[in-house]
């Protein structure tokens, strides 16, 4: 099918969109991405994951463009490692998140200098490490650590999605516009700088690449992808995605299990 317009950039979320819990990319999806690249389309990844955890997927897909990491808190070139943009969580806000989490007995992961830091090696921390394929460094006191180590993102981890949903609502009400709160996974509540989002990072990246937003495809599934889908000239929501993301999308593709990323690229990007 010939696309309605020529797209020059595709930004794709990772978890729930490009990969599942097995961290594998389906062959059909790989083929569709490679076909888009062969057509001259730049492909990048837009994830809440840290840069180090995204690089292996970028290498697997032959992506050489800057990657949108940490929900947009960091944009860094996949090959040269050049930092295009970085905005850390305000120190006092990061420390307040840790203090609130302690009172509720919730695991906190703090990301500073593209490394994961925790106070204790809990089951939640180990589960995160397995999913992200990164190692954690244990520090005695995160509040003290964060004083001199700005955190790009904090993740509050619990293994109950209902608790995650309630925590997102609670922290959003507590911090208001002082902090960005989002859900990136059934078990992850994320705290970022209030001016950080995948959509804003996508705008900056498009400007660096000299691409109009009308020529950008943004593909995602979860609430943290809402700004990505809304900002892109052509927003795509996964069939397994959050209803709010689907409502904002220009196109709702198939589910992850049905190679939704490939379906979107085949139908709306690739030339006949």
124 and 181 assigned to the same domain? yes
In a domain, 2, yes or no: no
Task: With 0.75 as the threshold, say if the pTM is over it.
Answer: yes
- For residue 165, what pLDDT is reported? 87
Q: Which one, of 123, 131, 134, lies nearest residue 15 by Cα?
A: 131
Band of residue 2 on the pLDDT scale cut at 50, 70, 90: very low
Whether residue 160 sits in one domain with residue 73: no
Is residue 199 very low, low, confident or very high in pLDDT (cuts 50, 70, 90)? very high
Q: Is 141 a catalytic residue?
A: no
How large is the average pLDDT for residues 89-100?
95
Asked which of 125, 160, 192 is the last residue of a domain, the reply is: 192
Residue 1 has pLDDT above 50, yes or no: no
| Count of other CB atoms within 10 angstroms of residue 70 | 31
Examine residue 128 and state whether it is found in any structural domain, yes or no: yes
* Residues 242 and 184 grouped into a single domain: no
CB neighbours (10 Å) of residue 122? 14
pLDDT at 228 over 50: yes
Q: Are residues 117 and 148 in the same domain?
A: yes
How many domains does the chain contain in total? Answer: 2
Tens of pLDDT, residues 108-126: 999 999 999 999 888 888 8
Are residue 213 and residue 80 in the same domain, yes or no? yes
Burial grade of 81 (CB within 10 A; 0-12, 13-18, 19 or more)? exposed
H/E run at residue 144: helix 142-148
Specify the DSSP element, H or E, that contains 151: none
**Cα radius of gyration rounded to whole Å, the chain:** 18
Last residue of a domain, one of 158, 177, 192: 192
pLDDT: is 184 or 225 the higher one?
225
Cα–Cα distances in Å, from 242 out to 29, 189, 230, 247? 21, 15, 14, 9
| Identified catalytic residue from 13, 15, 221, 242 | 13
Q: Which domain holds residue 133?
A: 91-192
Q: Note whether residue 54 is domain-resident.
A: yes
């Amino acid at each position: 099918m010939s696309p309605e317009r020529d797209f020059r950039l595709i930004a794709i979320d990772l978890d729930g969109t490009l990969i599942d819990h097995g961290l594998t990319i389906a062959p059909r999806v790989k083929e569709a991405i490679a076909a888009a690249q062969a057509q001259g389309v730049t492909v990048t990844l837009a994830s809440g994951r840290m840069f180090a955890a995204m690089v292996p997927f970028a290498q697997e897909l032959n992506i050489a463009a800057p990657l949108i990491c940490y929900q947009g808190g960091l944009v860094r070139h996949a090959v040269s490692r050049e930092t295009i943009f970085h905005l850390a969580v305000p120190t006092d806000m990061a420390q307040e998140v840790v203090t609130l989490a302690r009172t509720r007995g919730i695991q906190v992961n703090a990301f500073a200098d593209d490394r994961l830091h925790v106070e204790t090696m809990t089951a939640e921390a180990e589960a995160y490490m397995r999913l992200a394929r990164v190692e954690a460094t244990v520090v005695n006191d995160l509040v003290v650590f964060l004083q001199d180590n700005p955190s790009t993102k904090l993740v509050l981890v619990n293994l109950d999605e209902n608790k995650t949903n309630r925590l997102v609502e609670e922290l959003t009400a507590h911090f208001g516009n002082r902090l960005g709160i989002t859900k990136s996974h059934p078990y992850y509540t994320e705290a970022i700088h209030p001016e950080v989002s995948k959509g804003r990072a996508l705008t900056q990246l498009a400007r660096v690449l000299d691409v109009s937003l009308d020529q950008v495809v943004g593909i995602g599934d979860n609430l943290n992808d809402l700004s990505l889908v809304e900002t892109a000239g052509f927003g795509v929501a996964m069939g397994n995605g959050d209803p709010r993301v689907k409502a904002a999308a220009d196109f709702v593709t198939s589910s992850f299990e049905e190679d939704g990323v490939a379906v979107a690229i085949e139908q709306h990007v690739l030339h006949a």
